[in-house]
Amino acid sequence: MTKTLAIDCMGGDYGPSVIIPAALKALEIHSDITIYLVGHQEQVKKQVSQFNPQAFDIFGDRLRIQHASEVIAMDEKPSQAIRNKSDSSMRVSLQLVCDNVADACVSAGNTGALMALATILVGTLPGVERPAIVAELPNKKNTVTHMLDLGANIDASAEQLTSFAMMGHVMCQAVDGKDNPKVALLNIGEEQSKGRDSIKLAGDILSKQAEINYVGYVEANQIFNGDVDVIVCDGFTGNNVLKACEGITRFLYDQLKVEFTRNWRSKLIAAMVKPVLKSFQKRINPDQYNGASLLGLREIVIKSHGSADIKATLCAINKAISEIERQVPQEIQNKVSHLVLPVEH
């Protein structure tokens, strides 16, 4: 089966100059995919021929351009972007998925606008009130931990946290093939009495669900332990936690470089240590985890990091391909509808 991707070429900090080479690379690697490059036709064509003048000859019908005359800026207010820009590259990309022309959409654009437009155009699955952004984080046990929500929702009610937990549970089953993934709520203490009321209530609801292996609260210092498979929180907290981790990783790496340039002796050692550090950097490089799913939508929508480079963008595209193969939204629909909870309002 051919997998078709709609790629928003105009989003992110670097736009087509990074996204188009990543898309061409994906076409080269995966012979069974077709890509719609969505964006301003002239700009897209120019960038394609700049990176590979033979691209259209090589990939033929697998490489297509879908014109979109507008671009949603990274700092544009989502409500304004939705109202005023009916032909944005982001909207056109999502529309290709809605129209069943594409199987998945990838965008590095304005997260708020992507979330709002996807919810309006693609729609959420039955039983899902709000989508959540989920990403895979590395851990000590060399597996991955799925964490959500990472910024789709500023706040989350107990019901929403519960629904995130169920979606994470299904995601982990589908992607990692784990039968009974461990699901936890992020909180500022492990004791049942701690934290926000919404979290305590979500914990109560989840602990009554036989289908979900709810293991209680985890604190943020345990995220990278690998003791649980799914960690659930509101989007404000998740986004801050993720960005703080990015920030301190860069800080620590810089500090390590400072140590290695402190004196002639450490500089000498640095020369020898280079391959080890390179391997370390490769291992901790957040790029390899780029590509966050907007979980709970009827179709596959992948958010690439705004500052993603070519390699990282390729990871987001690969993530989309893998979700098409695993039919993640269908899996969620099948299992979440089964799990739907009688929530009292």
Binding site for its own copies (CB under 8 A): 75, 77, 112, 138-140, 151, 154-155, 186, 188-191, 193-196, 219-225, 233, 235-237, 239-252, 254-256, 258-260, 262, 266, 269, 272-273, 275-277, 279-280, 283-284
CB-nearer residue toward its own copies: 102 or 135 = 135
Evaluate whether 223 touches 145 at the Cβ level (below 8 Å). yes
CA distances from 267 to 141, 254, 255, 259, 328 (A): 33, 15, 14, 9, 49
Token output for 213: 């292996």
Helices (H), 262-327: 264-284, 310-326
- Minimum Å gap between C-beta 115 and its own copies is 12
Helix (H) or strand (E) holding 49: helix 41-51
Instruction: Pick the closer one to its own copies by CB: 110 or 173.
Output: 110
Least CB distance to its own copies at residue 213 (A): 22
* Min dist. Cβ of residue 169 to its own copies (A): 22
Q: Which amino acid is at 3?
A: K
Give least dist CB 244 to its own copies, A.
4
- Closer to its own copies by Cβ: residue 128 or 242: 242
Beta strands 292-295 and 300-303 are: antiparallel
Smallest distance from its own copies to CB 197, Å? 9
197 vs 344 by CB, closer to its own copies: 197
**In Å, what is the CA distance from 112 to each residue of 72, 82, 132, 266?**
11, 10, 12, 46
Cα–Cα distance, 147 to 170 (Å, whole number): 13
In the bound state with its own copies, the residue whose beta carbon lies nearer, of 11 and 195, is 195
Contact criterion met (CB below 8 Å) for 290 and 314: no
**Buried-state track 131-140, b at ≥16 Cβ within 10 A, e below 16:** bbbbbbbbbe
Task: Report the residue number, 56 or 224, with the smaller CB distance to its own copies.
Answer: 224
**Of 83, 132, 121, 91, which Cα lies nearest the Cα of 109?**
91
Which structure tokens are listed for 236? 């404000």
Tokens of 189: 């203490």
Quote the least distance from Cβ 272 to its own copies, whole Å: 5
| Least distance between its own copies and beta carbon 274 (Å) | 10
35 or 81, CB closer to its own copies? 81
* Distance (Å, whole) CA 164 – CA 167: 5
The Cα 235–Cα 252 span in angstroms is: 25
Give the separation between CA 7 and CA 165, rounded to whole angstroms.
Answer: 29
Q: Supply the minimum distance, in Å, between the C-beta of residue 4 and its own copies.
A: 32
Whichever of 50 and 143 has its CB closer to its own copies, that residue is 143
